[in-house]
Homo-oligomer: A and B are copies of this chain.
Amino acid sequence: MEACGLVVEYNPFHYGHQYHLKQARKETDADCMIAVMSGNFLQRGEPAILDKYHRAKAAILGGVDLVVELPYAYAVQNSDHFARGAIETLFHSGVSAVCFGSESGNIAAFTDAYQLQKEHLYAYEANLKRYLNQGFSYPDAATKAYRHISGLSEILDVSQPNNILGLGYVRAIKDAHYPIRPVTIQRIENNYHDTAITGKIASATSIRKEVLTNTSTSASAADSMPDETLQILTSYKQKAGHWHDWELYFPFLKYRVQTMNAAELEQIEGVIEGLEHRIKRTAAEASTFQDWMHALKTKRYTWTRLQRIFVHILTNTKKEEQILGHDTGYVRVLGMNKTGQTYLNQQKKQADLPFITKINQISHPFLQIEERAAKAYYSVLAADKQRNFFLQEMTSPIIVK
């Protein structure tokens, strides 16, 4: 069996993902579609609306065959590390192709950009450093440095976050010489609504309205959710009492920062350049999470970078854990269907790393982080619910017949 990998967060699963899946299956002729998915905290430094198990289930119902977890150590990081961790996880899952969305749908733009960067690596890095020193954020500095080396004939618009990620996947594959074919599919945003879909949507209007009112989901995103996703959203809220967003965590985050001294805060992953003082100073005045972010934000520190730091504070993730300094030691399966099961059974015989499901199945520094992250994620639920939700980490993966 051949497998194709996708890198996703599924927060939550929508028709765009379904379209992407179908196209990827067609392009790669793969038997098994594997999604490597962020856990409870996302790359933008946000809690996912639903926990990873419910998002995995929605993805499988939407057409994914196997969902594996992108470890927190890679998921809550800048796009370079995120991309590298995702590709490594997919490689160890045995994929022969990786498919990602892009504006152009032209893979040559990515492979050429990769070659260009590689050939001018010295100039690129010198310029990157220069722009960083001038106070630009990492994404802005990287875009400017890239434009410098590409001159007038810009082959890839790296100011687009999705293009940065795509280039990251290509780089991770090529740098490691993985036998994986990178594939890109042109993204469609609002043009995939055929009448069949519109018909389906109508049947779930009330749920969609609730999703819109209670989450930061945009109208077009809510419109594009399959009934299965909407049902999972609703049942999660019934079971958990909440959809998760930063404001729910704000009291915990503020309490935590206000009972740490600056030296302790400085030990947290991502807290550099005296940011600990700025975070402490702004904490007392903040009445909401949004308030606090606006008080913290500067040109140098992007919104997402600051949010990732807040996730690390919330989960007590420290520099001394060297979260990027460990080898991937396992592939963790969150859920699958029958195809995924067949693929997994075949793959287990030839895989170089163990496939695990339970958090306590083996011992690995990443799994200690997953445990803390899961406990922090469920902290906002009623005490008696926390335990049941956490138990998912210790039991079998989601299996969709």
The smallest C-beta distance from A261 to any residue of chain B, in angstroms, reads 7
The smallest C-beta distance from A372 to any residue of chain B, in angstroms, reads 5
A376–B259 CB distance below 8 A: yes
What residues of chain B lie closer than 8 Å to A390, measured between beta carbons?
284
- Cα–Cα distance between A375 and B255 once the two chains are bound (Å): 7
A259–B315 CB distance below 8 A: yes
B287–A383 CB distance below 8 A: yes
Contacts A260-B316, A261-B368 given; does A255 touch B376 at CB 8 Å: yes
The smallest C-beta distance from A286 to any residue of chain B, in angstroms, reads 7
- Within 8 Å by CB of A252, from B250, B252, B316, B368, lies B252
- Cα–Cα distance between A375 and B250 once the two chains are bound (Å): 15
B258–A379 CB distance below 8 A: yes
Work out how many copies of this chain go into the complex: 2
Q: Does A384 contact B (CB under 8 A)?
A: yes
Q: Does A193 contact B (CB under 8 A)?
A: no
What residues of chain B lie closer than 8 Å to A52, measured between beta carbons?
none
The smallest C-beta distance from A129 to any residue of chain B, in angstroms, reads 35
The smallest C-beta distance from A36 to any residue of chain B, in angstroms, reads 25
Q: Does A254 contact B (CB under 8 A)?
A: yes
- Minimum CB distance partner of A376 in chain B: B259
Q: Does A387 contact B (CB under 8 A)?
A: yes
Interface string of A379-400 (1 = CB under 8 A from B): 1000110110010000000000
Query: Which residues in window 344-401 of A have CB below 8 A to B?
Result: 368, 372, 375-376, 379, 383-384, 386-387, 390
Q: Does A285 contact B (CB under 8 A)?
A: yes
Contacts A375-B258, A376-B255 given; does A384 touch B316 at CB 8 Å: no
Question: Can you name 11 A-B residue pairings with CB atoms under 8 Å?
Answer: A250-B383, A251-B252, A254-B383, A255-B375, A255-B379, A258-B372, A258-B375, A259-B372, A259-B376, A259-B379, A264-B316
Partner-B contacts on A (CB < 8 A): 250-252, 254-256, 258-261, 264, 284-288, 314-316, 368, 372, 375-376, 379, 383-384, 386-387, 390
